[in-house]
Amino acid sequence: MSYCVNCGVELDKDAARCPLCQTPVVNPVCPVDTTIPPNFPVERREVEPVNRREAAVLLSAVYGVVSLCCVVLNLLFWWRGMPWSAIVAGACAMLWVWTVLPLLLRSVHSIFLVGLDLLAVAGFLWVISMAVDGGSWLGRLALPIWWGCSVVLLFLWYILPLRSILSRCMLVLGSCVVLMLWLELCIDLFLGGYQPMWSLVVAVVGVTLMAPLLIIRYRPDLRREVRRRFHF
Amino acid sequence: MVRRRGQDKGWFQLDNAAMMYSAIQSGTYSAVYRFSAVMAREVDPQALQRAIDRTMPRFPGFHVKIRKGVFWYYFEPDDTPGPYLQPDIQNPCQPVYFQNKDQLIRFFYYRHRISMEVFHALADGGGALVLFKTLLAVYLRELGEEIPNQEGILDVDEAPDPQEWEDAYARYARSRVRLRKSEPRAYPCTGTPEPFYTLNVTMGFVSVQALRQVAKSHGASITEYLAAVLIQSILARQRREGRRRELPVALAIPINLRPYFPTRTMRNFILTVRPSIDPELGDYTLEEIISQVHHHMRLHITRQEMQGVITRNVFFQNFLPLQLVPVPVKNFVVDTAYRLAGNRPYSTTYTNPGAFRVPEQMAPHIQHMEVVLGQSYTPRVNCASISYGDVMEITFAGTVKETDVERDFFRTLVQDGLHVKVTSNRRE
Ligand SMILES: [Zn+2]
């Protein structure tokens, strides 16, 4: 029998390293016995994951029925002059992507699902624009705004969980500033010429808030000092 | 009496603890624990399957399905054949799902080891050990041994006794006060998560005699001593993380209520006590931690106080406005509350079902016993121990990569002069 030189515990005869501290077993008198069967089985098995298909089917059926009813009603009362059922159907399709896909695609990374959700929003915007046939605002206003929001959201979704609280605050602030600048740019270009006004105010406030955070974040002595002064 | 009426109908209600366990069970969590007996000879699967078939009819409360009613879950006797013995797997205590074919109790064998896994809503450790002990006795009889029905082994030829399936919580919820305990946030002892289906198990074996001597020299019982050493390792871990403000380290220690409230039930009948150490008050030596744990347990494990807590728990279960909330809503609320708060007041769980005693004719056939607690929401280890003869077995199990808690724990035992043998299912 061998002992871990680090922990002082006796080990299995077939243990090549200590399970507690990973120190390799080197015992010239009693080499690691690889012939004896291991103390625990090696075969792995997993129970089947919970079947979410029932919930997915149910939700799909609900969305399908709602869309279908609206289409029928719309066909019966066409006199409104507008295919409003298309909007309802589009909303149902978007909700389907939001709620049913996470049930079906459980193993994929959440950022992929968020991407799909955003694509669904774009699709819904397109359906609305087709229904009210105002194609111009879609390409010039809605899609650029959607594009900006998507980029910022995906970026934050990816990066936030990995950061400290200080960095998170900075990232959220910075993203807000970028988003506001982009928003005003889109709106101004849609209305006529680009004349930055309110977004610049937001940007100045945001950057002013970020600056001290940035300094505190990257100057350890300052960070300690702030902690000492504010007792946290 | 609702219960008796229920039994005539062929179904029965979940008890108070079972309701909690079934509400919080989900795709990523279920309260499953495992008892194993390592036999002197290799297991004969055919004889063991025969023993299971003979034993299970005596324990109808373990051969049930869980069903969803409108307002509550309930148990229904399972008339399908089984449970069937399976070859053991590396990753024990897989979660239980409430689907038709899922068994709430499973049996495994691997070389010398016989294992039984139980969903916690069925029974607590005390109840499950009655079944396990009886099964082992029947198995040894199948192999031709003479084993008497002593030391808590039930006669499998008897008819099941309804008293063994009573809801003891409901019976003892008679206190005038509904006791409510404040349970502040504790240090969450979490680490790097493994893929969910991996359960890392590390077992340590210590002599009971030597352990009792050491615990006695500190003026504590074995449970108190081990709990204190565990708290010390978690405190050391928190210190290494270098937090600005350290949180209290608190253990959830389930207490078997049967010695305090006479009952023959095999269903759940436990409450937890929560010894804790607040490192913000200053550094504690092991001696001081042991003293804290010792006095906390002696102070709070009283019949009166526990009856107050039972009364409160059962009150909520029988509170009509709550009863009328449909199951999915209830589950969602309980599950969310447990995720947010339930794990928070405890750093980890330590459970010690005590000594496993068998008739002397059975003793030479069993080498030692093992116990494993199943998966938890958060990636952290929990601790369980069981003694048999002179072997105390201590298990650390969890879906976490790090081994520092168990390493410090066993090193402390070694420093206290104990001989520790360690084995693990971890593969590099
Ligand atoms: Zn070691």
Q: Under DSSP, is residue A134 helix (H, G, I), strand (E, B) or coil?
A: coil
Across the interface, which of B89, B111, B410 has its CB nearest the CB of A20?
Answer: B410
Q: Which of A9, A36, A162 to mutate to test binding with chain B, by most B CBs within 10 Å of its CB? A: A9
CA of B411 to the centre of ligand 1 (A): 9
CA of A23 to the centre of ligand 1 (A): 6
Please report the pLDDT score of residue B343 as a whole number. 59
Across the interface, which of A10, A44, A45 has its CB nearest the CB of B421?
Answer: A10
From A32's Cα to the closest Cα of chain B, the distance in A is 14
- Considering only CB atoms, which chain B residues are within 8 Å of A15? 423
Q: Residue B1: is its pLDDT beyond 50?
A: no
Query: What average pLDDT does this structure show over B29-50?
Result: 92
Query: What average pLDDT does this structure show over A143-171?
Result: 85
> Is the Cβ pair A40, B197 closer than 8 Å?
no
Tell me the per-residue pLDDT of B339-398, one tens digit each, with 9 for 90 and over.
666 557 889 999 999 899 999 999 999 999 999 998 777 788 999 999 999 999 999 999
Tell me the per-residue pLDDT of A136-151, one tens digit each, with 9 for 90 and over.
777 778 888 889 999 9
Please report the pLDDT score of residue A81 as a whole number. 65
**A220 has a chain B CB within 8 A of its CB:** no
**A133 has a chain B CB within 8 A of its CB:** no
Of A76-90, B37-51, B224-238, B257-271, the one with minimum mean pLDDT is: A76-90
**Residue B203: closest CA among chain A residues belongs to which residue?**
A19
Of the CA atoms within 13 Å of residue B68, those in its CB half-sphere come to 12
CA of B90 to the centre of ligand 1 (A): 22
Of A197-206, B51-60, B231-240, B284-293, the one with minimum mean pLDDT is: A197-206
Across the interface, which of B94, B414, B419 has its CB nearest the CB of A47?
Answer: B94
More confident residue, B314 or B3: B314
Tell me the per-residue pLDDT of B219-243, one tens digit each, with 9 for 90 and over.
999 999 999 999 999 999 999 988 8
Tell me the per-residue pLDDT of A174-189, one tens digit each, with 9 for 90 and over.
999 999 998 888 888 8
Phi-psi label, residue B115: left if phi above 0, alpha if psi -120 to 50, beta otherwise: beta
**Residue A36: closest CA among chain B residues belongs to which residue?**
B111
Which tokens sit at B295? 């006095």
Of A120-124, B187-191, B323-327, B417-421, the one with minimum mean pLDDT is: B323-327
Q: Residue B88: is its pLDDT beyond 90?
A: yes
**B419 has a chain A CB within 8 A of its CB:** yes
What string of DSSP letters covers B99-131? STT--SEEEEEETTEEEEEEETTT--HHHHHHH
**Residue A9: closest CA among chain B residues belongs to which residue?**
B420
Please report the pLDDT score of residue B346 as a whole number. 87
Strands B73-77 and B64-68: antiparallel
Q: Residue B6: is its pLDDT beyond 50?
A: no
- Considering only CB atoms, which chain B residues are within 8 Å of A45? 89, 91, 94
**A230 has a chain B CB within 8 A of its CB:** no
d(C-alpha B402, C-alpha B193), whole Å: 9
Element (H, E) at B251: strand B249-256
Tell me the per-residue pLDDT of B173-218, one tens digit each, with 9 for 90 and over.
887 888 777 778 889 888 888 877 789 999 999 999 999 999 999 9
- Phi and psi at residue B362, in whole multiples of 5°? -90, -25
Averaged pLDDT score across all residues of chain B: 88
Please report the pLDDT score of residue A126 as a whole number. 86
Please report the pLDDT score of residue B4 as a whole number. 40
| Length reported for chain B | 428
Provide the pLDDT confidence category of residue A51 given band limits of 50, 70 and 90: low
- Phi and psi at residue A17, in whole multiples of 5°? -145, 165
Query: What average pLDDT does this structure show over B138-159?
Result: 92
Please report the pLDDT score of residue B338 as a whole number. 67
Q: Which of B85, B335, B407, B427 to mutate to test binding with chain A, by most A CBs within 10 Å of its CB? A: B407
Provide the pLDDT confidence category of residue A49 given band limits of 50, 70 and 90: low
**Residue B98: closest CA among chain A residues belongs to which residue?**
A50
In angstroms, the first-to-last Cα distance of chain A is: 51
Owner of token pair 């008050």: B281
> Is the Cβ pair A16, B99 closer than 8 Å?
no
Spell out which residues have Cβ within 5 A of ligand 1, the ion.
A 4, 6-7, 18, 20-21, 23
Phi-psi label, residue A231: left if phi above 0, alpha if psi -120 to 50, beta otherwise: left
What string of DSSP letters covers B182-244? ----------PBPPTT--EEEEEEEEHHHHHHHHHHTTS-HHHHHHHHHHHHHHHHHHHHT-S
In this structure, the number of other CB atoms found within 10 A of the CB of residue A215 comes to 12
Provide the pLDDT confidence category of residue B81 given band limits of 50, 70 and 90: confident
CA distances from B289 to A89, B218, B276 (A): 64, 10, 9
Q: Under DSSP, is residue A153 helix (H, G, I), strand (E, B) or coil?
A: helix
Across the interface, which of A12, A39, A44 has its CB nearest the CB of B89?
Answer: A44
Which tokens sit at B21? 């366990």
CA of B415 to the centre of ligand 1 (A): 13
CA of B204 to the centre of ligand 1 (A): 12
Q: Which of B98, B410, B412, B418 to mutate to test binding with chain A, by most A CBs within 10 Å of its CB? A: B410
Rg of chain B, C-alpha, whole Å: 21
**A17 has a chain B CB within 8 A of its CB:** yes
Please report the pLDDT score of residue B288 as a whole number. 96
Look up residue B157 and give its DSSP letter: T
Q: Residue B99: is its pLDDT beyond 70?
A: no
From A102's Cα to the closest Cα of chain B, the distance in A is 14
Element (H, E) at A96: helix A84-104
Q: Are B117 and B33 in contact (CB under 8 A)?
A: yes
Of A85-89, A118-122, A161-165, B63-67, the one with minimum mean pLDDT is: A161-165
Instruction: Label residue B9 exposed, middle or buried (CB < 10 Å: 0-12, 13-18, 19+).
Output: exposed
Provide the pLDDT confidence category of residue A125 given band limits of 50, 70 and 90: confident
CA of A25 to the centre of ligand 1 (A): 9
Residues 145-164 of A with CB under 8 A from B: none
Of A155-164, B49-58, B185-194, the one with minimum mean pLDDT is: A155-164
Q: Are B293 and B275 in contact (CB under 8 A)?
A: yes
Q: Are B77 and B10 in contact (CB under 8 A)?
A: yes
**Residue A103: closest CA among chain B residues belongs to which residue?**
B27
- Considering only CB atoms, which chain B residues are within 8 Å of A19? 202, 403, 422-424, 426
Instruction: Label residue B58 exposed, middle or buried (CB < 10 Å: 0-12, 13-18, 19+).
Output: buried
Q: Residue A50: is its pLDDT beyond 80?
A: no
Please report the pLDDT score of residue A170 as a whole number. 87
Q: Are B41 and A63 in contact (CB under 8 A)?
A: no
**B28 has a chain A CB within 8 A of its CB:** no
Across the interface, which of A7, A40, A47 has its CB nearest the CB of B407?
Answer: A7
More confident residue, B175 or A210: A210
Provide the pLDDT confidence category of residue B5 given band limits of 50, 70 and 90: very low
Element (H, E) at B33: strand B32-39
> Is the Cβ pair A9, B27 closer than 8 Å?
no
Residue ranges of alpha helices (H) inside B62-176 are 125-142, 168-172
Across the interface, which of B94, B245, B411 has its CB nearest the CB of A7?
Answer: B411
Provide the pLDDT confidence category of residue A109 given band limits of 50, 70 and 90: confident
Please report the pLDDT score of residue B7 as a whole number. 46
**A12 has a chain B CB within 8 A of its CB:** yes
